[in-house]
Amino acid sequence: MDVTTILLLLLIGSIATFFAGDKLASKVALIFSLGALGLSLYLLNLLNQGANISYIGEWMSSPKVSLAFKADGLSMAMVLLTTALTPLIVFSSFGNSFNNSKNFYALVLFMSFAMVGTFLAVDGLLYYIFWELALIPIYFIALIWGNGDAEDRKKAVVKFFIYTLGGSLFMLIAFAYLYSKAGSFLIGDLYQLELTGTEEFWIFLAFFLAYAIKIPIIPFHTWQAKVYQKAPTVGTMLLSGIMLKMGLYSVIRWQLPIAPSAAKAYMPILIGLSIAGVIYGSIVALRQKDLKKLLAYSSLAHVGLIAAGCYTLTLDGLSGVVSQMIAHGFVIVGLFFAAEVIFRRYETRTIADLGGIRSQTPQFTSMFMILVLASVALPGTFNFVGEFTVLYSLSQVNIWYAVLGGTTIILGAYYMLKMFQNVMLGETNTKVFAEVTTNEAITFVAIIAFLLFFGLYPKPIVDLVTPSLNEILAVINK
């Protein structure tokens, strides 16, 4: 039993969904994604018992590429994030009807497959293939099932596709160079490379371009808001909940250990840029008129803080980053789902057209409120654990980083509460807002329960990732 079974299950699920036909597609997708969740939990259990669930096989001899999937705590945490969010995302879309839903759900599962592959692969080229593979389904999801004017959408999505693809090419170049030095793509061999300062700088820069665009760190974020707005909510959830974590995960797994001295040398710039993203994203979010765009910029701000945590190169920073990644993944999916719930009833996402919903739907209000509060990192939610640890690690590097990064708790509260006030509160809206359905409520409750539970007891996740982060830090500090 090794981790490839998850990959296989998702791939088979994707194919099965495609052949299940339009009527059954969503249910088949849900079953397979739940299966993947169960399987990854089982594998996690095996890992905790000390079993070897990695898989290394031959693939190509020249260039020497192997099918290497390694599962340590960090990878498993990210895989679990993916496999836990996928059924949620699939389930959350039960209230929508899509044309050609078999293609749609097959693409969703396929994307999940590619993302899990990215998190597991430890062979550079294999990782790169999965990394790019994940881009293809989201391109079609956003392009075909998106909303708004088709021309506008096409422009935004194509820009996103080419932009991220262009960034990744630099990463490919870096891998090619590393291969020429090491004669192998395996991560262990790449870790052991002795690179000169100049080489490290260029490799770091190449990785940085790929990841900064994917994460996104300002000023590489321009694709984000439009795509989030135009993509269908499922696509937005996949993008913001999981896909941008691919970038952050890769920073930890690939960029920092391969080019550690560059990371150390440019730490102030990197942290500065990330924190600038925090403040910039928060400020831009203040005056957004579209609910999804506002959430997109809030995501930009939060991810900026996470990236800053990555570049502190401390154990606290990295473990905080993992917690915050998972927490943010859940909360942003929840928030986008709330936007979707509103859209299903009011057919609009313009904040100015909303308001006065609270009096009609107490349940939805409470759940939305909790998600908003989690997003502003109220103590007791998992986000607080992550944000606290990240800010703490920043303060260890330099107290001013923590002060500047900490503005997120002020500005974040400002724009989120302003949004909540304009969307939910005020005189009762003239349009009827139906209370959430059971399906919708289940999605919300699952997310909220997760956030609150780990907010009070984050130990399992921290314990899971700490050993692997220590290994990576050992490589960084060697």
Partner 1 sequence: METNLALVLLLSPFVGFLFNIFLGSKVSRNVSGAIGTLTVVVSFLLSICFFAQLNQNGKPFEIALFDWIQVSNFKLDFGILLDQLSLLWLLFVTGIGSLIHLYSISYMHDDENMHKFFAYLNLFVFFMITLVIGSNLLVMFIGWEGVGLCSYLLIGFWYKNQPYNDAAKKAFIMNRIGDLGFLIGMFIIAALFSTLNYTEIKIALSAGNADSAMLGLAALCLFIGATGKSAQLPLYTWLPDAMAGPTPVSALIHAATMVTAGIFMVTRMNFLFDLTPDIQHIIAIVGAATALVAASIGLLQNDIKKVLAYSTVSQLGLMFLALGLGAYTVAVFHVITHAFFKACLFLGSGSVIHGLHGEQDMRKMGGLRKAMPITFWTMMISTLAIAGIFPFAGFWSKDEILMVAFEHNKVLWVVASIASIMTAFYMFRLMYLTFFKEFRGTEEQKHHLHESPSLITIPLVILAILAVIGGAINLPGSMWLNHFLEPILAAKHEAHHLGTQEFMLMGIALVGAIVGIIWANAKYIKGGFVPKEDADISGFNKTVYNKYYVDEFYTFLIVKPINSLSNFFRTTLEPALGKVVFSFGTLANGIGTQGKKLHNGNIGLYLFVFVLGICAIITYLFIAQ
Interface residues toward partner 1, by CB under 8 A: 159, 162-163, 166, 219, 221-223, 225, 280, 283-288, 314-316, 319, 356, 358-359, 362, 366, 373, 378-380, 385, 388-389, 391-393, 395-396, 399, 402-403, 406-407, 409-411, 413-414, 417-418, 421, 424-428, 456-459, 462
Q: Identify which of residues 36 and 142 has a Cβ nearer to partner 1 in the complex.
A: 142
Q: Are 178 and 203 in contact (CB under 8 A)?
A: yes
Please, what is the minimum distance in Å from the beta carbon of residue 438 to partner 1?
Answer: 16
Cβ(248)–Cβ(307) under 8 Å? yes
Dihedral class, residue 355 (left if φ above 0, else alpha if ψ from -120 to 50, else beta)? left
- By CB atoms closer than 10 A (0-12, 13-18, 19+), residue 422 is middle
By CB atoms closer than 10 A (0-12, 13-18, 19+), residue 375 is buried
Residue 154 CB, nearest approach to partner 1 (Å): 14
Shortest approach of partner 1 to residue 439 CB, angstroms? 20
Min dist. Cβ of residue 412 to partner 1 (A): 9
In eight-state DSSP terms, residue 1 is -
262 or 284: whose CB is closer to partner 1?
Answer: 284
Query: CA distances (Å), 13 to each of 34, 44, 140, in order?
Result: 10, 21, 18
For partner 1, the closer of residues 316 and 340 by Cβ is 316
Which residue lies nearer to partner 1 by CB, 5 or 359? 359
Which is nearer to partner 1, 20 or 462 (by Cβ)? 462
**In the complex, what is the shortest distance from the CB of residue 350 to partner 1, in angstroms, rounded to a whole number?**
15
Q: How many residues are given for the chain?
A: 478
Residue 348 beta carbon to partner 1: minimum distance, rounded to whole angstroms: 19
Nearest to 338 by CA among 376, 298, 370, 386: 370
Distance of closest approach, residue 307 Cβ to partner 1, in angstroms: 18
> 89: helix, coil or strand?
helix
What tokens does 120 get? 């597991």
Q: Provide the minimum distance between the beta carbon of 466 and partner 1 in the complex, in angstroms, as a whole number.
A: 8
The runs of H, that is alpha helices, within 146-286 are: 150-182, 187-191, 197-214, 224-230, 233-237, 244-250, 256-258, 260-265, 267-286
Residue 31 or 283: which CB sits closer to partner 1?
283
To the nearest 10°, the Cα dihedral for 341, 347, 351, 352? Answer: -150
Cβ closest to partner 1, residue 80 vs residue 285: 285
| Residue 182 or 373 with smaller CB distance to partner 1 | 373
